[in-house]
Structure 1
């Protein structure tokens, strides 16, 4: 019986955590929540008062926020080999939380039509969208993975951001991004996770005609 409960919607950032869970390889129980009702229902708000997914419950403890869930699961299940080794910690934490902070903020602000006015860059943790994309490009250039030659949970989180960004046009289609993401898309756990979520999305679509 699983001791991981996963709350998600296949059309959400829950796809990142689905991939992480498939990489971990432990059994998990999935609860699919719709945006209109179940995410705002009292029983789920008791788990995540933000009323959003994803969230996990592991051994009675709630973890929310994608980067935190990835880091938590990597530590909770060390046999999966997704946590950083001592010499990898600097790159692991730096780039995972760079993606959770500056990348997430710059991309979502831009998608919402908000741009930083010249001279006010210091008010925002990412400065400008273009600067953030340049720095992110540098992080994935000249190496196979975020920490060098070994795949870790940081690649799941950073890679999901870039994968999503290229798919929906919210990030520039740069060769370094495409090369990095294509490497990640070959992973069996990535492919399993996408197959599961794509099947769920297909079931949620209204019948044709």
Structure 2
């Protein structure tokens, strides 16, 4: 049993995509930012009072990247994680997405620029370094790990898609081409439709 806590206008869309990729049944709980997301019942699940979160067989998992990794492990038949002994690059890019990439594009979206000479004091250095690193990696590969789509593509791909949609960073040709390769996956299309229907109901 998977209980999925989300709002259709949140990072919950990443988890929805991942849930659709694994194909397992789940129950969706729609939360409102101003009320149910801050309710005692939900704060008992995620004291941060934010979404997404899942409860899977009694285990609480928050943070979109962690949820993607957990579901890939919990449902190996979906083939969304490499074998355990081959996960170095997989973990590298999942954490790159959750760390340097998300921090850099979030700061850029709010207009924050790291003061010159202080790049070593922040985890990502400069936005340009992050984009160069990711674009350089993807320019030689169809997916994050090469020819096989994984949970790392769900997470990093979603972040790139957010950047394309909301103009969070200067879109690079290589990143745009990668997004075009993955954005129409059936699981993502289904997830987007479910979120649209949920949003229309609210």
Q: What is the TM-score when the length of structure 1 is the normalising length?
A: 0.93
Show the counterpart of 1:197: 195
- Which segment is superposed worse, 36-45 or 78-87? 78-87
1:144 is aligned to 2:150: no
Show the counterpart of 1:207: none
Show the counterpart of 2:59: 61
Shift of 1:97: 0.6
Shift of 1:179: 1.3
1:91 is aligned to 2:89: yes
1:44 is aligned to 2:42: yes
- d(CA) in 2 for partners of 1:105, 1:95: 14
Equivalences for 1:1-209 in 2 at 5 Å? 3-86=1-84, 88-204=86-202
| Superimposed CA distance per residue, residues 139-165 of structure 1 (whole angstroms, 9 cap, x where no aligned partner) | 221111111100010000010000111
Q: What is the TM-score when the length of structure 2 is the normalising length?
A: 0.96
Q: Is the 8 A contact 1:88 1:147 kept in 2?
A: no
- Which segment is superposed worse, 4-13 or 187-196? 187-196
How many residues were matched structurally?
Answer: 202
Q: Could you list the runs of 5+ residues in structure 2 that have no partner in the other structure?
A: none
Q: Could you list the runs of 5+ residues in structure 1 that have no partner in the other structure?
A: 205-209
- d(CA) in 2 for partners of 1:95, 1:180: 15
Q: Is the 8 A contact 2:109 2:169 kept in 1?
A: no
Q: Is the 8 A contact 1:95 1:139 kept in 2?
A: no
SS in 1 for 2:4: strand
